[in-house]
Structures are given as structure tokens and as C-alpha cells.
Copies of this chain bind each other. A is one copy, B any other.
Amino acid sequence: MQLDSVFTALAHPARRAMLARLGRGEATVGELAEPLEMSLPAVTKHLKMLERAGLISRGKDAQWRPCKLETAPLEMAADWIENQRKIWEDRLDRLENYLHTLAEQEKKP
């Protein structure tokens, strides 16, 4: 299930920082590593998790292979949360309406 790997990928601050950086444009592995104070192998490991989750793709230029953000899996994750929000907001609306009806009935003699 892709949602599993997307949420797992989002569960680490370094990977979220990489995604945030790539949201501003393509970057090489070196550019992604620079602000992270992390070894290059550690960075590569995080990048592989992002790639497996479909959150980034790599360019084909053998030397640079710039990383690029793929937004579709993020949309999928946002949609899941958004669907839950609809369900709980509908429930709260119904509850509010019910309480309102009760209050109106109380007013009647």
C-alpha cells in the first residue's frame, strides 16, 4: 500500500526537510545533504526511502542525477486526512443540529 510508505517517509525530519527543499526546485544529492549535517550515506538512505515511496524521482544524467519532487503521493496523503476530516466534521454538525433541536423542544411549553 503506497500510503504506508508515504507516511513512513514523512515520519523523519531529515526526509521532510529534503521534500521541503525539493518543493522549491530540483537539487543534487550534494545540495540536499549540505544543510543537514549528515553523512552522505545517511542522506542516500533517506533519499532511497523517498524514492521507494514515489515522493521523488531522479534525473537520468549519470553524473548529476538531480532529485525532483513528485507531488502525487503527497496529494494522496493529504486526501486521506481530508476524507477523515469530512467524516468527523459531518458527525459534529449532526451532533450540533441534534443539540439545537433538543434546545428548541425545551423552549416549548
Please report A residues at the B interface, Cβ cutoff 8 Å.
1, 3-8, 10-13, 16, 19-20, 23-25, 69, 71, 74-75, 77-78, 80-82, 84-85, 87-88, 91
Contact = CB atoms under 8 A, between A and B. Distances in A.
Secondary structure type dominating chain A contacts: helix
Contacts of A85: 71, 74-75, 78
Contacts of A74: 81, 84-85
Number of copies of this kind of chain in the complex: 2
Contacts of A23: 84, 87-88, 91
A25 B87 CA distance: 10
A24 B91 contact: yes
Contacts of A81: 74, 77-78, 81
Contacts of A71: 85, 88
